[in-house]
């Protein structure tokens, strides 16, 4: 078979686009955070994980702080797009909307061990560093407000009488808790069980709208 014309071949590594290269480095950072944690992650380790030179990583990210900031921004935007896309596809029914938001947390492209571990690494720094709050604070506020509004609509429809704010908080704590379990337990349960746990929480809060999985 004749060789493909130059324009049809994959570009050699050193001629990849800036966006492609940065994405490669960010993925390597996620993997490194999962292995070494926040404080022990270095540019050298990231370069090794990416299969690149230390100098090339420095060319795209001038410092560890800049790389960690951009990696968190990438994770935050990925998460925001994931749940908002799921919500948009669910339509206007609050039961379908809450179902979509819960399921979105366990989507295979989001709920991976390296990503969960990277998120936990950033959460562990949230109290001592403004990085998480500066990068994710607005997204978190939008998520919380959206979830609270859905809970308020379900509350009104079912006459549950609880606080929508607390209901939303319980759901958030359950979702975050299952993520922590999947990352930290010596023998974590399957992702399907984590989803079933979150669905059981919804059934406890809104029994007329949700049924706990068997």
Q: Which domains, ranges and CATH numbers included, belong to the chain? A: 6-205 (1.10.357.10)
- The residue behind tokens 């607390």 is 166
Q: pLDDT tens across 158-187, in order?
A: 999 899 999 999 999 999 999 999 998 888
- The whole-model pTM stands at 0.87
Summarize the confidence of residues 16-25 as an average pLDDT.
Answer: 89
| Mean pLDDT of the residues in the chain | 91
| pLDDT beyond 60 at 8 | no
CA dist., res. 69 & res. 65, Å (int): 6
Instruction: Please tell me the predicted confidence (pLDDT) of residue 182.
Output: 94
Mean pLDDT of 5-11: 41
Read off the pLDDT of residues 29-40 as tens digits, 9 standing for 90 and up. Answer: 999 999 999 989
> What is the per-residue pLDDT across 82-106, written as a single tens digit (0 to 9) for each?
999 999 999 999 999 999 999 999 9
């Amino acid at each position: 078979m004749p060789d493909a014309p130059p324009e049809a071949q994959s570009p050699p590594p050193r001629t990849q686009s800036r966006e492609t290269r940065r994405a490669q480095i960010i993925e390597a950072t996620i993997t490194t955070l999962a292995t070494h944690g926040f404080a022990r992650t270095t540019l050298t380790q990231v370069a090794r994980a990416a299969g690149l030179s230390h100098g090339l990583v420095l060319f795209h990210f001038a410092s560890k702080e800049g790389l960690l900031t951009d990696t968190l921004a990438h994770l935050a935007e990925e998460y925001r797009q994931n749940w908002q896309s799921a919500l948009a596809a669910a339509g206007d029914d609050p039961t379908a909307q809450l179902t979509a938001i819960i399921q979105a947390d366990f989507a295979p492209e989001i709920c991976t061990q390296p990503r969960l571990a990277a998120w936990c690494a950033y959460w562990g720094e949230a109290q001592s560093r403004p990085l998480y709050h500066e990068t994710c604070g607005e997204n978190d506020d939008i998520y919380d407000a959206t979830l609270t509004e859905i809970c308020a609509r379900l509350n009104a429809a079912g006459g549950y009488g609880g606080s929508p704010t607390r209901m939303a908080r319980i759901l958030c704590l359950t979702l975050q808790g299952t993520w922590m379990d999947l990352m930290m337990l010596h023998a974590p349960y399957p992702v399907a069980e984590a989803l079933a746990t979150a669905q059981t929480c919804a059934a406890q809060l809104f029994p007329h709208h949700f049924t706990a999985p068997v």
